[in-house]
Amino acid sequence: MSADFLYAIEVLLNGLMAGVMYSLVALGFVLIFKASGVFNYAQGVMALFAALTLVGIMNGEVPFSHLINAMFGTQVHDFGWHVPALAAIGLTAVVMVFFAILVEKLILKHLIGQEPIILFMATIGLAYFMEGFGDMMWGADIKPLDVGLPKGGSIWIEENTAWLGGEGQRFFGFFIDKLDMSATLVAAILVIALTLFSQYTATGRALRAVADDHQAALSVGISLRAIWVITWSIAGFVALVAGIMWGSKSGVQFSLAFIALKALPVLMLGGFTSIPGAIVGGLIIGMGEKLFEFLAGPLIGGATENWFAYVLALIFLVFRPQGLFGERIIERV
Amino acid sequence: MYYREAGDFKTSYRKDQQNFPIRFDRVHFWTMMVLAFAVIPFFINDYWANAVFVPFLIYAIATLGLNILTGYCGQVSLGSAGFMAVGAYASYKLMTSFPDLNFFVIVVLSGAITALVGTAFGLPSLRIKGFYLAVATLAAQFFLVWLFNKVPWFYNNSASGQISVPRRDMFGIAITGPEASAATKYLVCLAIVFVLGFIARNLTRGRIGRSWMAIRDMDFAAEIIGVDPLRAKLSAFAISSFFIGIAGSLFFTIYLGAVEVGEAFGIERSFLILFMVIIGGLGSIYGSFAGAAFLVLMPVLLKNALVGGLGWPSDVAAHLEFMIMGALIIFFLIVEPHGLARLWAVTKQKLRLWPFPY
Amino acid sequence: MTSTVTPDGRTIGDVLLEVKNITLRFGGVEAIKNISFDVREGEIRAIIGPNGAGKSSMLNVINGFYHPQEGEIFFHGRKRNAMKPSQIARQGIARTFQNIALFKGMNTLDNIMTGCFTHMKTSLLEQAIWWGRAEREEYVYREKVEHIIDFLEIQAIRKTPVGALPYGLQKRVELARALAAEPKLLLLDEPMAGMNVEEKEDMCRFILDVNAEFGTTTVLIEHDMGVVMDISDRVVVLDYGRKIGDGVPDEVRSNQEVIDAYLGVAHD
Ligand SMILES: Nc1ncnc2c1ncn2[C@@H]1O[C@H](COP(=O)(O)OP(=O)(O)OP(=O)(O)O)[C@@H](O)[C@H]1O
Ligand SMILES: [Mg+2]
């Protein structure tokens, strides 16, 4: 096989792994959307916030140290201890639940029955607030994150696929990052777990019932507010996982919020009420953008990942407004 | 003087539909205009021009533009900064290709070019609605910024990838470039704002404006009354982009002078303009000005108070600014989706009855 | 040619609208099955039938919101091609909706002014400058709209945001908006639903007055049989998407199939 072809396959594999992460974040969106009708723009910043909190806890940083120092002229920075990764992840999860409760209490409760677009804009406000809040709490510098996941290329895969190129080809085996592999694994497990959860548990069913009809759900005794807290907590965990994976790869920094935002076009592609749609959409976008960058990037200047997903979703939507798996909407008058 | 409409009878439809039906408002408005055109220019200095007045005026144009699209026609766009970039780069290319072209012609042409681009990106709005469309406009935002960054033709192959404005004169006075004085910059922007504000007001009070609002409020009913959604939405996109393109042009030529596209026209700028629309008031001309003024002044005041007054580091102040901005958006969406404009209207209503509230 | 005068003094003219063999399906559901009827100039034509009979769907077909799978529509004697609703509005068909579809963000006056949209001609540029034609046109139509406002007795709520109006008044504003289009054919989908007796009487009076003053041909969906029998010239009865009766009120009233449908006799 020719080297170019094999490199294209390598690109696709990497795209597939990125796609699984997109699917995971997109699932977070779908769950929130189904349960509360909110198209949550803040999902990306939630991932950033979760990762910032995780790093902060692990390093024993004092929250709001900049603010405290500014106000009282002190020089506090950290407690001088280190929290083990797993414990810190647990603590961060607690913070995300707390956050979900606050969102419900302070925002959602007051916006019941508003138009979806108003809710959407409110989540943009939320994203802004959280970005400022996260930076205020933990500082805005780029932070390395290491929770002990394996890193670097997998030698084993490289060595065992080198023969594919055959004689005389400049191909040395697939280069696949171990971190990407573990991220894919975790994401895939989570995707399956979430799908099972919403399909087969009582809470999951209640969640879907709420999505179908708020009033009806209320009348059979499902607590809307509890459901909202649960879904926002789940979205918080998903954000945490995404934050860990992407943060381990390139450090915890603001751009993380934008990577996570890729889940938006994923959703438009998949139809945002559909769990399989989120998964398939994520894979298509993950592979599509890597392949496009590989094939067309060099010709037109590169960095096409910035917009490819959005343009693809845009073009796709023009032809199929309900997305891949979304239900077709017939307007009634 | 009390705020009163009694004794101010409208004897014709013309009087009833004039810009400021209440005399107090009319007097107020013209006093402001005299101040703005004839007094402020004599006192303005570089600090006030660059920190407050010029950005306020330019953002007011962008906010008017987005308000036409979002507030009046109901189509949320997150791509405003991308369209501003189109205006800026159009101006740059026009100025460098046609050095003799009058500056105001360049500004208007930049607006027109942006209107074309905006209309093209508005086409999907026929099939896509609500937040689907909002996300789709992100495609414009990211794609346009990428385009101006990657295609050297747009920045005339300059080594830095930046564009910087050449000096242009009118009546022997520099209006762009480093030699332009604070008062000139301010007056150029003010004049354009005045004209565009007038146009926005006219468009929104007549046939076209009502067709936009009809589409916003109940699209199928609008259609059945004879409003063609295609024309209504595309005209809103075109007019809105025209305004935003002009704002982008001025942002580059008058305000910044030199621009790196990702920095000047990133997505935060799109959000800032959207926030100005929400805080000022969706679907209000007056609100567009109020929202722009509010969000231009707030960081200046915060910075003065926290950094200048309390001696905080400026990054902490910046974080606080983000938090306040986000919280304000949520606050307004919950409490008063019609923004400052409605708050003002309510206050006026109270004043009208004062001191006898019943 | 064939103009007749009804006992109420209405002049009924030629056929204005004819629907022929219309069939409309939603997926597997046949909402309208092979229905034909006509509407003549100047008449008040009622469509009645139990819930889900396909009445609203019929209006939606007439003003182009739904596209029937089969059948033809003739307006002014000419066969109508598939058109967008906005084009059909331009031909002079206006309507009101079963669930009020006013523009919530506007006041009463602006809602009604929007109804004039198809008649107003000034271009975007003229509008932008608001000088000469644009301004004059606005006042010409404002005057027409004021006439309608007087006619429907809603002067007091001119500047009220429509969302703040009680239900009955909203229905009236919607009628005003449709009238502002100066339609040849006016379609009213349950204009009196949910009103009390007094409001119904007012609404009946308005419909009759509109017909008398502007000669507007009206198609009316209504559940209140008393009202239908009182004000309509001819009645079409639908049931489960089929037409089961068509004729003057007395005829329809004595039609056995119609009686069965209304009494809920089991279908075979
Ligand atoms: N957009 C749509 N999609 C699917 N089914 C529809 C749609 N519109 C109408 N229907 C179906 O067509 C049938 C006729 O509906 P229609 O609204 O015309 O009834 P109607 O006679 O107006 O009843 P009502 O008196 O309740 O207003 C119903 O079974 C309805 O469910
Ligand atoms: Mg009906």
| Cβ <8 Å between B278 and A128 | no
Q: Where are the alpha helices (DSSP H) in chain B?
A: 13-16, 23-34, 40-43, 46-48, 54-66, 80-97, 103-122, 130-150, 182-205, 207-217, 219-225, 229-250, 261-264, 267-280, 285-302, 314-335, 339-353
Q: What is the DSSP string of C147-178?
A: HHHHHTT-GGGTTSBGGGS-HHHHHHHHHHHH
Taking the C-alpha atoms of residue B174 and residue B254, their distance in angstroms, rounded to an integer, is 11
- Determine the residue type at C254: S
Indicate if the pLDDT at residue B292 is higher than 60.
Answer: yes
pLDDT tens across A146-187, in order? Answer: 777 777 777 777 777 766 666 666 666 777 777 778 878 888
Rounded to a whole number of angstroms, the distance from the CA of A332 to the nearest CA of chain C is: 9
pLDDT tens across C214-229, in order? Answer: 889 999 999 888 888 8
B11 contact C CB<8A: no
CA of C226 to the centre of ligand 2 (A): 18
pLDDT tens across C34-60, in order? Answer: 999 999 999 999 999 988 899 999 999
**What is the β-pairing status of strands C11-12 and B173-174?**
unpaired
| Cβ <8 Å between B202 and C127 | yes
Question: What's residue B32's pLDDT?
Answer: 87
Of ligand 1's listed atoms, the one at least distance from the Cα of C190 is 27
| Cβ <8 Å between A110 and B334 | yes
| Cβ <8 Å between C60 and A333 | yes
pLDDT tens across A184-202, in order? Answer: 888 888 888 888 887 788 8
- Asked if A282 contacts A290 with a C-beta cutoff of 8 angstroms, the reply is no
Taking the C-alpha atoms of residue B136 and residue B126, their distance in angstroms, rounded to an integer, is 12
Question: What's residue A214's pLDDT?
Answer: 65
Atom 24 in ligand 1: which residue has the minimum CA distance? C51
What distance lies between CA A324 and its chain's CA centroid? Answer: 20
Taking the C-alpha atoms of residue C133 and residue B169, their distance in angstroms, rounded to an integer, is 37
pLDDT tens across B218-274, in order? Answer: 989 999 999 999 999 999 999 999 999 999 999 999 999 898 988 899 988 999 999
Average pLDDT over residues B3-17: 59
Report the percentage of chain B scoring pLDDT > 90.
47
Name the nearest CA neighbour of B336 among B272, C106, B322, B344.
Answer: B344
| Cβ <8 Å between B17 and C130 | no
Token output for C201: 């009487």
Name the nearest CA neighbour of A321 among B74, B131, C25, C60.
Answer: B131
Token output for C141: 């139509």
Question: What's residue C268's pLDDT?
Answer: 46
CA of C53 to the centre of ligand 2 (A): 8
C262 contact B CB<8A: no
Q: Which ligand is the nearest neighbour of the Cα of C32?
A: 1
**Nearest by CB to B323, which of A114, A136, A304?**
A136
pLDDT tens across B67-94, in order? Answer: 999 999 999 899 999 999 999 999 999 9
pLDDT tens across A50-100, in order? Answer: 999 998 898 878 888 778 887 787 777 777 778 888 888 999 999 999 999
pLDDT band at C265 (very low <50, low <70, confident <90, very high): low
Question: What's residue B291's pLDDT?
Answer: 92
The DSSP output letter for B206 is S
Question: What's residue B8's pLDDT?
Answer: 52
Question: What's residue C263's pLDDT?
Answer: 66
Indicate if the pLDDT at residue B2 is higher than 60.
Answer: no
* Secondary structure element (H or E) that encloses residue A125, with its range: helix A116-138
Write down the domain spans for chain C: 1-92+183-268, 102-182
pLDDT tens across C53-93, in order? Answer: 999 999 999 999 999 999 999 999 899 888 899 999 999 99
Residues B189, B192, B195, B200, CA torsion sign:
negative
Indicate if the pLDDT at residue B4 is higher than 70.
Answer: no
Instruction: Classify residue A301 by burial, with Cβ atoms within 10 Å: 0-12, 13-18, 19+.
Output: middle
Average pLDDT over residues C230-251: 90
C12 or C216, which is more confident: C216
Name the nearest CA neighbour of B164 among B81, B83, B263, B96.
Answer: B96
- Asked if A19 contacts A283 with a C-beta cutoff of 8 angstroms, the reply is yes
Of ligand 1's listed atoms, the one at least distance from the Cα of C58 is 18
Token output for B90: 């159009």
CA of C172 to the centre of ligand 2 (A): 18
pLDDT band at B210 (very low <50, low <70, confident <90, very high): very high
**Nearest by CB to A107, which of B146, B149, B330?**
B330
Nearest CA in chain C to B210: C114
Taking the C-alpha atoms of residue C134 and residue C124, their distance in angstroms, rounded to an integer, is 9
**Nearest by CB to C105, which of B207, B208, B283?**
B283
Residue holding tokens 């959860």? A197
pTM listed for this prediction: 0.89
Beta bridge partner(s), residue C161: C107
The DSSP output letter for B18 is S
Question: What's residue B10's pLDDT?
Answer: 60
Average pLDDT over residues A36-51: 86
Taking the C-alpha atoms of residue B101 and residue B94, their distance in angstroms, rounded to an integer, is 8
Indicate if the pLDDT at residue B119 is higher than 60.
Answer: yes
A333 contact C CB<8A: yes
pLDDT tens across C99-135, in order? Answer: 889 998 899 999 999 999 988 888 888 888 888 888 8
Indicate if the pLDDT at residue A296 is higher than 90.
Answer: no
What distance lies between CA B154 and its chain's CA centroid? Answer: 24
A117 contact C CB<8A: no
Taking the C-alpha atoms of residue A60 and residue A42, their distance in angstroms, rounded to an integer, is 26
| Cβ <8 Å between C128 and B210 | no
Average pLDDT over residues A266-284: 81
Taking the C-alpha atoms of residue C204 and residue B16, their distance in angstroms, rounded to an integer, is 32
pLDDT band at B340 (very low <50, low <70, confident <90, very high): confident
**Angle at CA A43, nearest 5°, toward A285 and B86?**
65
pLDDT tens across B29-73, in order? Answer: 888 888 888 888 888 888 888 889 999 999 999 999 999 999 999
Question: What's residue B250's pLDDT?
Answer: 95
Average model confidence (pLDDT) across chain C: 88
Taking the C-alpha atoms of residue C201 and residue C209, their distance in angstroms, rounded to an integer, is 12
pLDDT tens across C141-189, in order? Answer: 999 999 999 989 898 998 888 988 998 899 999 999 999 999 999 999 9
Indicate if the pLDDT at residue B354 is higher than 70.
Answer: no
| Cβ <8 Å between B322 and A129 | yes
Question: What's residue C2's pLDDT?
Answer: 60
Mutate to test the interface with C, among B19, B205, B210, B224 (most CBs of C within 10 A): B224
Fold entry, domain C1-92+183-268 = Rossmann fold (3.40.50)
Question: What's residue A98's pLDDT?
Answer: 92
| Whole-number CA gyration radius for chain B | 21
Rounded to a whole number of angstroms, the distance from the CA of C135 to the nearest CA of chain B is: 9
Lining residues, ligand 1, CB within 6 Å:
A 330, 332; C 26, 29, 31, 49, 51-57, 98
B329 contact A CB<8A: yes
Prediction ipTM score: 0.90
Residue holding tokens 């017909």? C211
Average model confidence (pLDDT) across chain B: 87
CA of C48 to the centre of ligand 1 (A): 14
